[in-house]
Chains A and B, each alone.
Chain A
Amino acid sequence: EDQVTQSPEALRLQEGESSSLNCSYTVSGLRGLFWYRQDPGKGPEFLFTLYSAGEEKEKERLKATLTKKESFLHITAPKPEDSATYLCAVQAANYGQNFVFGPGTRLSVLP
């Protein structure tokens, strides 16, 4: 069965303390891996799509990387406004346009 897991479940960082979030997946025929940010009570906001192993994408303090089995979201020198839940989702060949979402990592950045 296709599965997407994320770790850690929750992460508390001091402002400026860099770290990484993990998304592990087991799917057949990965078409794309997506990262979303979700603020409390709001809909997820699209961050990145990664298509193939070795690919990297960056946006401000965030950098996403992809291997054949997992993806990392690196957060460099985070600020309190980076506090949110980060979700990864995978799209496989037999999903059509649909995703399987992971449970998310709840990130808190303390000033």
Chain B
Amino acid sequence: DSGVTQTPKHLITATGQRVTLRCSPRSGDLSVYWYQQSLDQGLQFLIQYYNGEERAKGNILERFSAQQFPDLHSELNLSSLELGDSALYFCASSVDSTLNYGYTFGSGTRLTVV
């Protein structure tokens, strides 16, 4: 157990629908990162939050949004889902500096859009 908790583990939904993925960071970590991993794209950075505020944005689609709550858990909202959104979605957390220890990843949410 890495200490980063992601729910649900698996999600199957239809095109056009909206889903919410949840992440609880490791105790004491203030930063939360969301990554998408698909077979053809590898791990792609989506967005980072630090202590409730958006810190950095990567290749995140406009149909996707995220937030970090006062208790530091984060949610990734995916709407108007398309078949191509099927992927593993990982959340990671870190203390303020990542250089020495990198990120700690959760075990991911596997999203299947049918």
**Partner-B contacts on A (CB < 8 A):** 31-32, 34, 36, 41-46, 49, 51, 87, 89, 91, 96-104
Give 1 or 0 for each of B101-114: 1 = CB within 8 Å of chain A CB. Answer: 11111111010000
Assuming the contacts A36-B102, A43-B2, A46-B103, asked whether A97 and B108 have C-beta atoms less than 8 A apart, the reply is: no
CB of B100 within 8 A of CB of A43, answer no
Q: Pick the contact of B43 from A51, A87, A96 — CB < 8 Å? A: A87
CB of B48 within 8 A of CB of A43, answer no
Q: Pick the contact of B99 from A32, A43, A100 — CB < 8 Å? A: A32
Assuming the contacts A31-B99, A36-B102, A97-B98, asked whether A44 and B48 have C-beta atoms less than 8 A apart, the reply is: no
> How many angstroms from the CA of A89 to the CA of B101 in the assembled complex?
13
B residues 9-59 touching A (CB-CB < 8 Å): 31, 33, 42-45, 48, 55-56, 58
> How many angstroms from the CA of A100 to the CA of B58 in the assembled complex?
10
> How many angstroms from the CA of A102 to the CA of B37 in the assembled complex?
12
Count B interface residues, CB 8 Å: 29
Minimal Cβ-Cβ distance residue in A for B101: A46
Closest approach, in angstroms, between the C-beta of B8 and any C-beta of chain A? Answer: 14
CB of A98 within 8 A of CB of B102, answer no
Q: Which residues of B contact A34 (CB under 8 A)?
A: 102
CB of A101 within 8 A of CB of B99, answer no
Q: Which residues of A contact B31 (CB under 8 A)?
A: 97
